[in-house]
Structure 1
Amino acid sequence: MFSFIKKIFAPVSLAAQPADAPAAANAVKIYPRSEHCISRTQISENALKVLTRLKKADFEAYLVGGCVRDLLLGREPKDFDVATNASPEQVKQIFRNCRIIGRRFRLAHVFFGREIIEVATFRGGVDNEESDRQVVHEDGRLLRDNVFGTLEEDVWRRDFTVNALYYNIRDFSVVDYTGGMQDHAAGVMRLIGDPEVRYREDPVRMIRAIRFAVKLGFTLHPDTEKPIYAQADLLKSIPSARLYDEVLKLFLAGYGLQTFEMLRHYGLFGILFPETERCLATQEQDFPRLFLIRALENSDRRYNDGKTLTPYFLLAALLWEPLQVAAQKRIGSGENETLAYQNAANEVLARQIKITAMPRHITQSMRDVWFMQPKFSRTVGTRPYRLLEQPKFRAAYDFFQLRAETGGADPQLVEWWAQFQEADEELRKQMTTPGKTGGGKPRNRKSGRYRSRTKPVANPQ
Structure 2
Amino acid sequence: MLKRYKKDHDGSNVPVADIYFAKEHGIDSRNIDLDAVWAVRKLKQSGAEAYVVGGAVRDLLLGRKPKDFDISTSASPRQVQKIFWNARIIGKRFKLVHLVFKDKILEVSTFRSGEDGIEEGSSIYGNVEQDAKRRDFTINSLYYDPTDGQLLDFNNAMADFKKKRVRSILPLPASFSEDPVRMIRAVKYSVTTGFPLQFDVKRAIKKSANELARVSSSRLTEEVSKILSSGDSAKIIAELHRYKLLVYLLPCVSVFSRLHEVYASLQVLDEQIRVLKETDEAVDEGMKGQMLVALVKPIMSVSPTELTPEESFKEIFGQVKTLISPLTPPNYDVEHAAVIILEEAGTAVPKNCLRARRPVRQPGKPGFRAKQQKHGETPRKGKKVTATVAAAPVKSGPSSTSNKKRRRRKPKAATNAIHVKPELPATDD
Q: Give me the TM-score of the superposition, normalised by structure 2.
A: 0.68
Q: Do structure 1's residue 68 and structure 2's residue 54 form an aligned pair?
A: no
CA distance in 2, matches of 1:18, 1:221: 32
Aligned partner of 1:295 in structure 2 is: 265
In structure 2, the CA distance between the partners of 1:350 and 1:97, relative to structure 1 (3 Å rule), is closer
Aligned partner of 2:134 among 146, 149, 157? 157
Structure 2 residue matching 1:91: 3-state secondary structure = helix
In structure 2, the CA distance between the partners of 1:89 and 1:76, relative to structure 1 (3 Å rule), is same
Structure 2 residue matching 1:219: 3-state secondary structure = coil
Amino acid at match of 2:262: L
Contact kept, 8 Å, 1:65 with 1:81, in 2: the verdict is yes
Larger relative contact order (Cα-Cα within 8 Å, sequence gap ≥ 6): 2
Q: Which has the larger radius of gyration?
A: 1
Aligned partner of 1:382 in structure 2 is: none
Q: Do structure 1's residue 13 and structure 2's residue 3 form an aligned pair?
A: yes
CA distance in 2, matches of 1:109, 1:349: 32
Structure 2 residue matching 1:276: 3-state secondary structure = helix
CA distance in 1, matches of 2:297, 2:98: 40
Contact kept, 8 Å, 1:323 with 1:341, in 2: the verdict is no
Q: Do structure 1's residue 318 and structure 2's residue 318 form an aligned pair?
A: no
Contact kept, 8 Å, 1:276 with 1:321, in 2: the verdict is no
Contact kept, 8 Å, 1:18 with 1:153, in 2: the verdict is no
CA distance in 2, matches of 1:185, 1:18: 30
How far is the alpha carbon of 1:57 from its aligned partner?
A: 2.1
CA distance in 2, matches of 1:296, 1:170: 39
How far is the alpha carbon of 1:13 from its aligned partner?
A: 2.5
Structure 2 residue matching 1:78: 3-state secondary structure = coil
How far is the alpha carbon of 1:293 from its aligned partner?
A: 2.6
How far is the alpha carbon of 1:229 from its aligned partner?
A: 1.4
Unaligned runs of 5+ in 2: 10-14, 354-429
Q: Do structure 1's residue 210 and structure 2's residue 180 form an aligned pair?
A: no
Aligned partner of 1:168 among 145, 153, 162? 145
How far is the alpha carbon of 1:58 from its aligned partner?
A: 2.0
In structure 2, the CA distance between the partners of 1:17 and 1:63, relative to structure 1 (3 Å rule), is farther
How far is the alpha carbon of 1:117 from its aligned partner?
A: 2.7
How far is the alpha carbon of 1:165 from its aligned partner?
A: 0.5
Amino acid at match of 2:105: I
Structure 2 residue matching 1:13: 3-state secondary structure = strand
Deviations 1:341-368 (A, max 9, x none): 9998687556446411133233334444
Q: CA RMSD in A?
A: 3.6
How far is the alpha carbon of 1:269 from its aligned partner?
A: 1.5
In structure 2, the CA distance between the partners of 1:32 and 1:242, relative to structure 1 (3 Å rule), is same
Aligned partner of 1:87 in structure 2 is: 76
Amino acid at match of 2:192: K
Aligned partner of 1:357 in structure 2 is: 328
CA distance in 2, matches of 1:47, 1:343: 43
In structure 2, the CA distance between the partners of 1:216 and 1:388, relative to structure 1 (3 Å rule), is same
Contact kept, 8 Å, 1:195 with 1:227, in 2: the verdict is yes
Contact kept, 8 Å, 2:18 with 2:152, in 1: the verdict is yes
Q: Do structure 1's residue 229 and structure 2's residue 229 form an aligned pair?
A: no
Structure 2 residue matching 1:58: 3-state secondary structure = coil
Report the structure, 1 or 2, having the larger strand content: 2
Q: Do structure 1's residue 118 and structure 2's residue 107 form an aligned pair?
A: yes
How far is the alpha carbon of 1:164 from its aligned partner?
A: 0.7
Aligned partner of 1:32 in structure 2 is: 21
Structure 2 residue matching 1:110: 3-state secondary structure = strand
Aligned partner of 1:304 in structure 2 is: 274
CA distance in 2, matches of 1:299, 1:356: 19
Structure 2 residue matching 1:302: 3-state secondary structure = helix
Aligned partner of 1:403 in structure 2 is: none
Contact kept, 8 Å, 2:320 with 2:338, in 1: the verdict is no
Report the structure, 1 or 2, having the larger helix content: 1
Contact kept, 8 Å, 2:256 with 2:299, in 1: the verdict is yes
How far is the alpha carbon of 1:41 from its aligned partner?
A: 4.4
Deviations 1:189-216 (A, max 9, x none): 1121113111111111111111122112
Q: What percent identity do the matched residue pairs reach?
A: 32
How far is the alpha carbon of 1:94 from its aligned partner?
A: 2.1
Alignment of 1:387-426 (within 5 A): 387=348
In structure 2, the CA distance between the partners of 1:218 and 1:345, relative to structure 1 (3 Å rule), is same
Amino acid at match of 2:86: N
Q: Give me the TM-score of the superposition, normalised by structure 1.
A: 0.64
Q: Do structure 1's residue 244 and structure 2's residue 221 form an aligned pair?
A: yes
Alignment of 1:377-456 (within 5 A): 387=348
Contact kept, 8 Å, 1:165 with 1:176, in 2: the verdict is yes
CA distance in 2, matches of 1:110, 1:388: 39
How far is the alpha carbon of 1:166 from its aligned partner?
A: 0.8
Structure 2 residue matching 1:28: 3-state secondary structure = strand
Deviations 1:40-78 (A, max 9, x none): 444222222222222222221222111221221221111
CA distance in 1, matches of 2:239, 2:273: 20
Q: Do structure 1's residue 109 and structure 2's residue 98 form an aligned pair?
A: yes
Amino acid at match of 2:77: P
CA distance in 2, matches of 1:43, 1:346: 40
CA distance in 2, matches of 1:342, 1:387: 9
Structure 2 residue matching 1:363: 3-state secondary structure = helix
Structure 2 residue matching 1:188: 3-state secondary structure = coil
Contact kept, 8 Å, 1:85 with 1:121, in 2: the verdict is yes
Contact kept, 8 Å, 2:21 with 2:149, in 1: the verdict is yes
CA distance in 1, matches of 2:263, 2:269: 10
How far is the alpha carbon of 1:185 from its aligned partner?
A: 2.0
Contact kept, 8 Å, 1:55 with 1:170, in 2: the verdict is no
Contact kept, 8 Å, 1:88 with 1:107, in 2: the verdict is yes
Amino acid at match of 2:265: A
In structure 2, the CA distance between the partners of 1:233 and 1:68, relative to structure 1 (3 Å rule), is same
Amino acid at match of 1:303: I
In structure 2, the CA distance between the partners of 1:261 and 1:53, relative to structure 1 (3 Å rule), is same
